Amino acid sequence: MALKLSTAARNARLDAIETAVGESAILKIRTGSPPDSISDPDSGDVLASLNLPANWMSAAANGSKSRSGIWQDAAADATGTAGHFRVYANDGSTPHLQGTITVSEGGGDMTLDSVSVEAGNPLTITGFVLTDGNA
């Protein structure tokens, strides 16, 4: 039998992730595949670095939690193909979340308006949702 959690327990677990990362997290969009583990060193080149809002995720509801506000970099740092992301504490060096990137409907953990990033051009995160299992 699979473990089952109430919606309240799933929501609390999701909200705890944002609390652990902390306010004003830093999101870095990188080339290539994500490292095997969150504890592994960074990989790929940084294409964009975004300072997320202080309250960067919505309150969890129905076992999911989505980005809060507009996540956009007005001018990307470098040119390349976005492959993965990492969310860091506001120190910019302690990673807490990572995943793959695709364009909308592409099946990635985070979606962008385009995975083709050009230095100096804007980059917009179009989708990011955390969903807790064990429903």
Whats the size of the chain, residue-wise?
Answer: 135
pTM exceeds 0.85, yes or no: yes
pLDDT at residue 105 tops 80: no
Q: Exposed, middle or buried, 37 (CB in 10 Å: 0-12/13-18/19+)?
A: exposed
Instruction: Provide the pairing of β-strand 110-112 with 123-131.
Output: antiparallel
pLDDT at residue 11 tops 70: yes
Give pLDDT, residue 132. Answer: 93
Give pLDDT, residue 110. Answer: 96
Give pLDDT, residue 1. Answer: 67
pLDDT at residue 106 tops 80: no
Can you tell me the mean pLDDT for 80-98?
Answer: 97
pLDDT at residue 107 tops 90: no
Band the pLDDT of 133: cuts 50, 70, 90: confident
Separation in Å, CA 92 to CA 24, 62, 133: 10, 30, 28
DSSP letters spanning the chain? ------HHHHHHHHHHHHHHH-SS-EEEEEESPPPSSTTSPP-S-EEEEEE--SS-BPPPBTTEEEB-S--EESS-SS-EEEEEEEEE-TTSS-EEEEEEEEETTS--SEEES-SEE-TTS-EEEEEEEEE----
Q: 53-80: per-residue pLDDT in tens?
A: 999 999 999 999 999 999 999 999 999 9
Q: 28-38: per-residue pLDDT in tens?
A: 999 999 999 99
Q: Which phi and psi angles does 20 have, rounded to 5°?
A: -65, -40
Band the pLDDT of 48: cuts 50, 70, 90: very high
